[in-house]
Amino acid sequence: MGSAFREIRRMPSAIMRTEHNQKAINNNLKMKKLITTTFILAFLALTSYSQDTTKTAKQRPITTYKVGSAKVIVWENKGEKGSWKNFQVEKIYQKDGKWKTTNSFNEKELLELKAAIDRAIAEESVKVNTTEEK
């Protein structure tokens, strides 16, 4: 009878060990899920980053018109309905030894931008509709 009593006394600690083991197993599973999710997100982020860099590396402007600090950049796009051009305007300037761009112009720079736009219109054969629709 003494050994049966000892077994009964050991049961609560065995149950506690089992509960502790179950918690450890649950924590391990949570950690594995977290690590797996982190790796998947990192992989997806790197994949999308590499696709973005290859996309921009392929497309380059077809020409740039520069007057003073104003630039008009011409991009050619192709799609199902044919090809078309997009025009991007920006001002370039140097600050602290680094080249930067903005789309804000003062009065003088605005005149330079107008001159660059006029060159782009003339040389890119941009059709301007002069009749107003009413």
Residues 83-125: tens digit of each pLDDT: 899 999 999 999 999 999 999 999 999 999 999 999 999 998 7
Contact 121, 128 (CB under 8 A): yes
> What pLDDT, on a 0 to 100 scale, did the predictor assign at position 38?
72
pLDDT-derived band at 63, boundaries 50, 70, 90: very high
Burial classification of residue 120, based on how many CB atoms lie within 10 Å of its CB (0-12 exposed, 13-18 middle, 19 or more buried): buried
CA angle 104, 89, 114 (to 5 degrees): 85
Helices (H), 59-130: 107-123
Query: For the segment 31-58, what is each residue's pLDDT rounded down to a tens digit?
Result: 787 777 776 766 667 665 544 444 555 6
Whether the predicted pLDDT of 68 surpasses 60: yes
Q: Please, which pLDDT band fits residue 65 given cuts at 50, 70 and 90?
A: very high
More confident site: 17 or 36: 36
What pLDDT score was predicted for residue 125? 76
Q: With cut-offs at 50, 70 and 90, classify the pLDDT of residue 134.
A: very low
Cα pseudo-dihedral 106, 112, 114, 116, rounded to 10? -140
Sheet of strand 98-102, all strands in order from the earlier edge strand to the far edge: 63-67, 70-79, 82-95, 98-102
- How buried is residue 115: exposed, middle or buried, by Cβ count under 10 Å (0-12/13-18/19+)? middle
The pTM is what? 0.51
In 3D space, the residue among 22, 36, 103, 29 whose CA is nearest the CA of residue 70 turns out to be 103
Count of alpha carbons within 13 angstroms of residue 22, beta-carbon side: 6
